[in-house]
Amino acid sequence: MIRIGLPAHLRTLARVAGEVELDLTGAVTTRQLLDALEEAYPALRGTIRDQVSFERRPFVRFYACEEDLSHDSPDAVLPETVLNGSEPFWIIGAIAGGA
């Protein structure tokens, strides 16, 4: 079981409260996690990564285990504590000011 923390706007969009849990096992990568998340919650397609290039959106960041994983390869296996569900994988809207 993998736990995912979503920013407030995406929780509203996905119509979930609190963390999302995905029943994934084994050596899961960020790409596989996002594939499963979008499969479970189609409304999130395009909000975290581009639907054509699959690039992470610029103002979206990935964190886990107090580390910024945003620039890791999407095919890198997630940290063990994320895989075993003891820590969530955080999807964060960057604190970027704006109007």
Partner 1 sequence: MSQVRVLVGTRKGAFILSADGKRKNWEVRGPFFGGWEMYHLKGSPADPNRIYASQSSGWFGQLIQRSDDGGESWNPVGNKFAYDGVAGTHKWYDGTPHPWEFKRVWHLEPSLTDPDTVYAGVEDAAMFKTTDGGQTWAELPGLRGHGSGPNWQPGAGGLGLHTIVLDRANPGRIYIAISAAGAFRSDDDGASWKPINRGLRSNYIPDPEAETGHCVHRIAMHPSRPQTLFMQKHWDVLRTDDCGESWREVSGNLPTDFGFVVDVNSNEPETIYVVPIKSDSEHYPMDGQLRVYRSRTGGDEWEALSKGLPKNNCYVNVLRESMAVDQMDPCGVYFGTTGGQVYASPDGGESWSAIVHDLPAVLSVEAQTLP
Interacting residues with partner 1 (CB under 8 A): 7, 9-10, 13, 42-43, 45-48, 50-52, 57, 59-60, 93-94, 96, 98-99
Question: What number of other Cβ atoms are within 10 A of residue 41's Cβ?
Answer: 20
Structure tokens at 65: 């285990």
Of 27 and 52, which has the nearer Cβ to partner 1? 52
| Secondary structure (DSSP) of 8-22 | HHHHHHHT--S-EEE
Indicate the residue among 26 and 42 with the shorter CB distance to partner 1: 42
Q: How far is the CB of 37 from partner 1 (least distance, A)?
A: 14
Residue nearer to partner 1 on the CB measure, 12 or 73: 12
Q: Which residue has the tokens 């995905």?
A: 22
Closest approach of partner 1 to the CB of residue 77, in Å: 26
The span from the CA of 48 to the CA of 38, in Å, is: 9
Q: In angstroms, what is the minimal distance from the CB of 99 to partner 1?
A: 7
R_g (Cα) of the chain, nearest Å: 13
